[in-house]
Every structure is written in structure tokens, then in C-alpha cells.
Amino acid sequence: QIQLVQSGPELKKPGESVKISCKASGYTFTNYGIYWVKQAPGQGLQYMGWINTATGKSTYADDFKGRFVFFLETSASTAFLQINNLKNEDMAAYFCTRGPYYFDYWGQGVMVTVSS
């Protein structure tokens, strides 16, 4: 069956970096883009952008340009989100999901806690 399995929770200090993985299985990885969604505590869903799994090209929403990086390890059917220079406002759950139009499969989410 189709699954997106994400890495575990993270506890980081401001200024550090974090790398979150999203491993896909049950379908051809390069046929569907991977999209990333942020959910701050008690808040709604915020679209971050996506990575084209066939070409590796990333597109970022305006709020996520600069410190956020999407990349792939295609041989392992895995997408990654890296957040550099963490800030308090990055504390959130981060979901990967499969696109491109509607999001039919989701990872379980990764909670990133930022605390000094």
C-alpha cells in the first residue's frame, strides 16, 4: 500500500539546522511531486512548496524562501526538508504529502521543537 513515512520528532536550539525525511513506498516515486506543509501549534495548514521528484527542481512559497531546502535521495525514494538557522517561529509539525493537485497521501508529520 502507498505510504509516506517521516522521521521522528526533533528538539533543536535556535540557530541550529534540522533535516526531516519522508520515505515513500507503494508507488513510483518519480511519478508524483512531494509537497511540504507546515502546521504551527494550534494553527492551520500552511503550504511550503514542492519538489519535482523526476527532476529535483524545488519551488518554494514566499514565506519559505531562503532557510528552507527541499532535496531528494531518489534511489531511496526519500524526500528531505532541511531548515537552516532555526527560529522560534519554526516550531511546528511538518508534513510531506503527495501531489500535484489534491493531496491523497500524507506522512504522519514531524514535530520540530525549537527551544534554547
Residues engaged in binding other proteins (CB under 8 A): 35, 37, 44-47, 49, 59, 61-62, 95, 97, 99-104, 106-109
**In this complex, which beta carbon is closest to other proteins, that of residue 46 or of residue 84?**
46
For 61, the 3-state DSSP assignment is coil
Instruction: Rank residues 21 and 46 by Cβ distance to other proteins and give the closer one.
Output: 46
Q: Rounded CA gap, 41 and 104, in Å?
A: 23
Name the residue nearer to other proteins (CB basis): 62 or 89: 62
CB of 16 to other proteins, least distance (A): 25
Looking only at the bridges linking them, the beta strands covering 10-12 and 110-114 are: parallel
Rounded to a whole number of angstroms, the minimum distance from the CB of residue 90 to other proteins is 19
Contact 105, 84 (CB under 8 A): no
Distance separating alpha carbons of residues 71 and 106, to the nearest angstrom = 18
